[in-house]
């Protein structure tokens, strides 16, 4: 993958004991470190505008995470560890760079990695910023604020429901706009709030097309289920890793010490992560798009925002702190769609951390 970077951003291959990958750097080498973790169907490229606009005295790093971009394609995501592989990769990167702790920022899937870092490595965090993160319980298959599974086998989460036409087009490197399943159109419709088109759309599309695709990558494997909608999570790849089956004990996040301040920023029109997310089976079933939906009592739309808020409220009650900021007229990546507004909150949070 060869994607031009913005002025002020440099790309290097960094090899840790766990993973060799492309890492983007910006800011003074002696600056306080800010670690950026990208979301699904993306790479470190998506953070560049935020990286080059950091306040003076901060150093930005953003890796291509395992399964994406220029990360070693032989290193697969063991989904049975939830976000564990990504969290351990992030800490190995800090160790290799000789960094004790960092401010950590995550979007979407990257937000799920941050949840895991808060569980496993709270002492390595200076502050946390979550931009439209996945629910702490994972994506799909849960039905209330406590993350109760709809089915014992977590059917409806994992790789089995990923659209095969989208995957085919990603594998083919499709840069067209002739179908709603073209990657370009998927980004325009589900990630950005229409009619927004980013200035660096070609770079962001190249980043999306560099997602690793296959039975151990995306979509990963799946297990047939007798429970609606007929598929349960497999054991490999990013989509399965985000299943609530594997995301881990959220209680560890709440009780972990030391606690840091959390900034939760989200777009008002986020279709990817919401209480009626566009690809959530419960939401699709309730709209009649997935047939044979068993009904609201059995399989409602996952209350992703409500789950995040409930967990952060418990985190605050246990001695932490958080703020929720809603950026109006923005979708899943307000740090691209509304950079100045995002930075106003983000920079204040960094300075206080």
Question: What pLDDT score does 114 carry?
Answer: 98
> Mean of the pLDDT values across residues 58-77?
98
* Phi, psi angles (nearest 5°) of residue 272: -80, -40
Burial bucket for residue 74 (CB in 10 Å: 0-12, 13-18, 19+): exposed
Write the burial class of residue 72 (CB in 10 Å: 0-12 exposed, 13-18 middle, 19+ buried).
middle
- Distance, CA of 340 to CA of 321 (rounded, Å): 24
Neighbouring CB atoms inside 10 A of 30's CB total: 7
Q: Read off the pLDDT of each residue in 48-64 and give the average, rounded to a whole number.
A: 98
Give the residues across from 62 on adjacent strands: 24
- Three-state SS at 208: helix
Choose among 95, 119, 90: nearest CA to 105: 90
Question: Does 102 score more than 90 pLDDT?
Answer: yes
Q: Could you give the percent of the chain with pLDDT greater than 90?
A: 98
103 pLDDT tier (thresholds 50, 70, 90): very high
pLDDT exceeds 90 at position 1:
no
Q: Which residues neighbour 200 within 8 Å (Cβ) at sequence distance 6 or greater?
A: 48, 49
pLDDT for position 264: 98
Inter-helix orientation angle 109-120/84-96, to 10°: 70
Find where tokens 């999570």 sit.
Answer: 233
Bridge partners (DSSP) listed for residue 43: none
pLDDT tens column, 125-156: 999 999 999 999 999 999 999 999 999 999 99
- 175-193 average pLDDT score: 96
Bridge pairing between strands 20-26 and 32-37 = unpaired
Cis peptide leading into residue 274 (ω within 30°):
no
Q: For residue 191, give the DSSP letter.
A: I
What is the mean pLDDT of the segment spanning 87-102?
A: 98
Domains in the chain (CATH in brackets) are 10-352 (3.40.50.1820)
pLDDT in tens, 278-324: 999 999 999 999 999 999 999 999 999 999 999 999 999 999 999 99
CB-based contact 283:342 (threshold 8 Å) = no
User: Other C-beta atoms within 10 Å of 259: how many?
Assistant: 20
Average pLDDT estimate for 233-260: 97
Q: What is the pLDDT of residue 310?
A: 98
pLDDT of residue 161: 87
Instruction: Specify the pLDDT at position 112.
Output: 98
Beta strands 20-26 and 10-15, pairing class: antiparallel
Q: What is the mean pLDDT of residues 71-80?
A: 98
């Amino acid at each position: 993958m060869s994607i031009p970077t913005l002025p002020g951003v440099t790309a290097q291959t960094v090899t840790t004991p766990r993973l060799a990958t492309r890492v983007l750097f910006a800011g003074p080498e002696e600056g306080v470190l800010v670690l950026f973790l990208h979301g699904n169907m993306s790479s470190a490229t998506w953070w560049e505008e935020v990286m080059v606009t950091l306040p003076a005295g901060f150093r930005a790093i953003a890796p291509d995470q395992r399964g994406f971009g220029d990360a070693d394609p032989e290193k697969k995501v063991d989904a049975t560890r939830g976000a564990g592989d990504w969290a351990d990769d992030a800490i190995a990167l800090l160790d290799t760079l000789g960094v004790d702790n960092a401010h950590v920022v995550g979007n979407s899937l990257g937000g799920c990695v941050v949840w895991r870092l808060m569980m496993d490595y709270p002492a390595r965090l200076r502050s946390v910023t979550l931009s439209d993160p996945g629910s702490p319980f994972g994506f799909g298959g849960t039905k209330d604020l406590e993350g109760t599974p709809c089915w014992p086998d977590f059917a409806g989460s994992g790789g089995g429901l990923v659209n095969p036409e989208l995957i085919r087009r990603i594998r083919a490197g499709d840069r067209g706009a002739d179908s709603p399943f073209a990657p370009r159109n998927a980004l325009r419709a589900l990630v950005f709030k229409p009619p927004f088109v980013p200035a660096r759309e070609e770079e962001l599309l190249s980043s999306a097309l560099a997602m690793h695709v296959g039975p151990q990558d995306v979509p990963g494997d799946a297990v047939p289920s007798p429970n609606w909608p007929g598929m349960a999570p497999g054991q490999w790849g990013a989509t399965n890793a985000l299943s609530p089956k594997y995301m881990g004990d959220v209680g560890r996040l709440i009780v972990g010490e030391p606690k840091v301040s959390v900034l939760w920023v989200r777009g008002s029109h986020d279709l990817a992560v919401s209480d009626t997310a566009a690809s959530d089976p419960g939401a699709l079933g309730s709209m009649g798009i997935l047939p044979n939906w068993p009904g609201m009592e059995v399989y409602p739309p996952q209350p992703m925002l409500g789950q995040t808020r409930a967990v952060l409220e418990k985190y605050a009650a246990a001695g932490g702190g958080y703020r929720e900021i809603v950026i109006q007229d923005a979708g899943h990546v307000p740090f691209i769609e509304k950079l100045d507004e995002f930075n106003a909150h983000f920079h204040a949070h960094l300075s206080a951390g």
